[in-house]
Amino acid sequence: MIIMEIRNLTHTDFEELRNIYVSTFPLENAKQLDIYINHIYDMLRNDNRYHLYAAVEDRSIIGISLLYIFEYLKMALLDYMAVMPNFQRLGIGRKLFEFTNNELNRFIPDNIGMLLEVPKENVSDPDEWLRRKRRIQFYSTLGVKVLKSVNYLLPIQIDGDVEEMYLMIKLSKNITWISKKSIVDFINSVYTDVYDYRRTDLLSKTIDNLPDVIDIEELKV
């Protein structure tokens, strides 16, 4: 297995990318999923801040990570990371994560960290609860911490619902807090640049009750 950046998506690459999303992404509505994947495809073609890294085995993509770099903020968003179900629990996810984080360090040596949107485990379905719990545990073992008191709302709406997420960070600096301004600038940039979400309603709900200093701590799971 090798991990590499894919700069120019071929039709085969795109189909393999889509297959990974279909098998791992929680969107159940096929039309909504297609809109989301096509948006990612357009971004990869047109925005050089967006990077696709792929774990490749026998010339097939078996895992991906998507990184959006905000150089002016000295931060990045790990937009999505997934491994095909048949290749999970083999350490591929850890290798993908470490490769992606190293790429951020290469692009911005003095970066603050790589941020992640991680679903909270507040669901009633026991299987989904367990999947979310395991995801949080996985990231925690990689040193990812949570931004305390950040009510992050994912700007992907399904049937009018908006999901509240943990906003987590893999730090590159030895810090225990981050300023409200830095997080507000980051969230605003993610909404507009990554999701093309230009309304202000979710941003207002997210930042209204933020403290001036946001503590960074381990998430107890």
pLDDT in tens, the chain (221 residues): 999 999 888 888 889 988 898 888 766 556 777 888 888 999 999 999 999 999 999 989 999 999 999 999 999 999 999 999 999 999 999 999 999 999 999 999 999 999 999 999 888 889 889 989 999 999 999 999 999 999 899 887 555 567 889 999 999 999 999 999 999 999 999 999 999 888 888 889 888 889 999 999 998 76
Can you give the pLDDT at residue 94? 97
How big is the chain by its Cα radius of gyration, in Å? 17
The structure tokens 């995801």 sit at 135
Q: 55 and 75, same structural domain? A: yes
Q: 61 and 152, same structural domain? A: no
Looking at 111, 140, 171, the residue that finishes a domain is 111
Can you give the pLDDT at residue 27? 62
Looking at 49, 76, 111, the residue that finishes a domain is 111
Q: 88 and 29, same structural domain? A: yes
Can you give the pLDDT at residue 93? 96
Q: 216 and 174, same structural domain? A: yes
Can you give the pLDDT at residue 177? 96
**d(C-alpha 83, C-alpha 57), whole Å:** 12
Q: 151 and 200, same structural domain? A: yes
Q: 93 and 8, same structural domain? A: yes
Can you give the pLDDT at residue 115? 98
Q: 118 and 96, same structural domain? A: no
Can you give the pLDDT at residue 156? 72
Tally of domains in the chain: 2
**DSSP string of 127-175?**
HHHHHHHHHHHHHHHTT-EEETT--EE-S--BTTB--EEEEEEEESS--
Can you give the pLDDT at residue 25? 75
Q: 16 and 35, same structural domain? A: yes
Q: 197 and 148, same structural domain? A: yes
Q: CA separation (Å) from 62 to 16, 36, 55, 202?
A: 8, 20, 6, 34
In terms of residue numbers, what domain contains 23? 1-111
Q: 147 and 87, same structural domain? A: no
Looking at 87, 111, 135, the residue that finishes a domain is 111
Please give the structure tokens belonging to residue 92: 């591929």
Can you give the pLDDT at residue 159? 52
Please give the structure tokens belonging to residue 95: 């290798």
Q: 105 and 1, same structural domain? A: yes
Q: 150 and 85, same structural domain? A: no
159-165 long-range Cβ contacts below 8 angstroms, 24+ apart? 162/202, 163/119, 163/120, 164/120, 164/122, 165/117, 165/118, 165/119, 165/120
Please give the structure tokens belonging to residue 108: 């911005």
Task: Report helix, strand or coil for 221.
Answer: coil
What CATH number is associated with residue 94? 3.40.630.30
